Amino acid sequence: MLDGPKFTGIIDLNVNHDSYDFSQNFYRKLNEGSNMSIDGNGSLQNGGGSVAMSVDNSSVGSNDSHTRILGHQGLRHVENYSVASSIHRGRVSHGLSDDALAQALMDPRYPTQGLGNYDEWRIDLRKLNMGPAFAQGAFGKLYRGTYNGEDVAIKLLERPGNDPERAQLMEQQFQQEVMMLARLKHPNIVRFIGAAQKSVVWCIVTEYAKGGSVRQFLTKRQNRWVPLKLAVKQALDVARGMEYVHRLNLIHRDLKSDNLLISADKSIKIADFGVARIEVQTEGMTPETGTYRWMAPEMIQHRPYTQKVDVYSFGIVLWELITGMLPFNNMSAVQAAFAVVKGIRPTIPHDCLPSLSHIMISCWDGNPDVRPSFSEVVRMLEDAEIKVVTTVRKARFRCCVSDPRTVN
């Protein structure tokens, strides 16, 4: 679920660590107008890579592989495949003949089980055409395929046979994700197609976003112009989708650019609700469900939290859209966690529109009660969009590691 090691309690910032210099011009202390140098407290250990079940990074799986079918650790992308030439109707492609996870899904010896109250969403595996995997984690893989002729993304999760406790947790997450996706119907939420459950594998099918993730998009455009109008429009898509999610008293808990998918029309679809949950109470909520670079300080510190953790994450996402950069890009994930708790945030470009700066600063405030609701964020972004269209028609942001800035 995390980049780096899991902490069982509050991160002790008083423990000595190897020196890390926060004085570079990438970050600033909250409530201060200039960059601030912080003396290193010792070593902030390097974190491991995050495991993805959306296109890049996600929250399902772990850095340690305990699977019987997937014999690998962590996430790796599967390169050099041709989807068009390898999809077969109602079964896996010939190229997947050695893919035990995909074979298990289609194997008639493993009967399809019901989905309880959501059995209407059970897919007909005879209509599922599976192409090769394009990403995988310790407990599952992502495939591209078709269902009833529609391009879809297929997420397969393996039940860990030698870890009953983890298997039970993953089954709960699968059931929760099905429940969430079945409820969520919004143009900025990835559309749920259906699911299948077998004794050894779980399957979730959603619409396929041809544009990949926002993080992929920004990475590809790192040294090119990023239109400001597009950044604000996509931020509005995310905010409107999250306004809808919060209206249903849900918390996403893993909102980040890797979980924001781009449709053919460049609109944004929020994805990966595998760690989302119903907001009933704040005590006892599972911490460490997001990724440190986007995670609110109260979650990092294992304090009670509310929907405002999503608002914090959105502030970081908005900064990404504006600058094109990865947050805390010269830190490991665990180093970023220490920085966030110390009050460090990414540096906002000096010539960023004041209205956008205000939204970012408000959203990532260390006090959750100060952060706006998504309804307020939507209103502020709509006002900013009008300013962009009417007064900054040709404004574009250039992604520079040392000096993100705007030019006309």
DSSP per-residue string spanning 119-150: GGGB--GGGEEEEEEEEEETTEEEEEEEETTE
At 369, list the tokens.
């009660």
List residues bridging with 105 in a β-sheet. none
- Decide: residue 373, CB within 10 A, 0-12 exposed, 13-18 middle, 19+ buried: middle
From 3, 254, 258, 272, active-site residue: 254
At 26, list the tokens.
């990438």
Taking residue 227's Cβ as centre, other Cβ atoms within 10 Å add up to: 14
Q: Is 124 a catalytic residue?
A: no
Q: Decide: helix, strand or coil at residue 194.
A: strand
Max alpha carbon distance in the chain (Å)?
64
List residues bridging with 196 in a β-sheet. 203
List of long-range contacts for 164-168, beta carbons under 8 Å, 24+ apart: 166/66
Taking residue 264's Cβ as centre, other Cβ atoms within 10 Å add up to: 10
At 104, list the tokens.
């298990």
> Rounded to the nearest 5°, which phi and psi values hold at 195?
-150, 165
CA-to-CA separations, 168 to 54, 113, 171, 385, in angstroms, rounded: 21, 16, 5, 46
Residues taking part in catalysis: 254
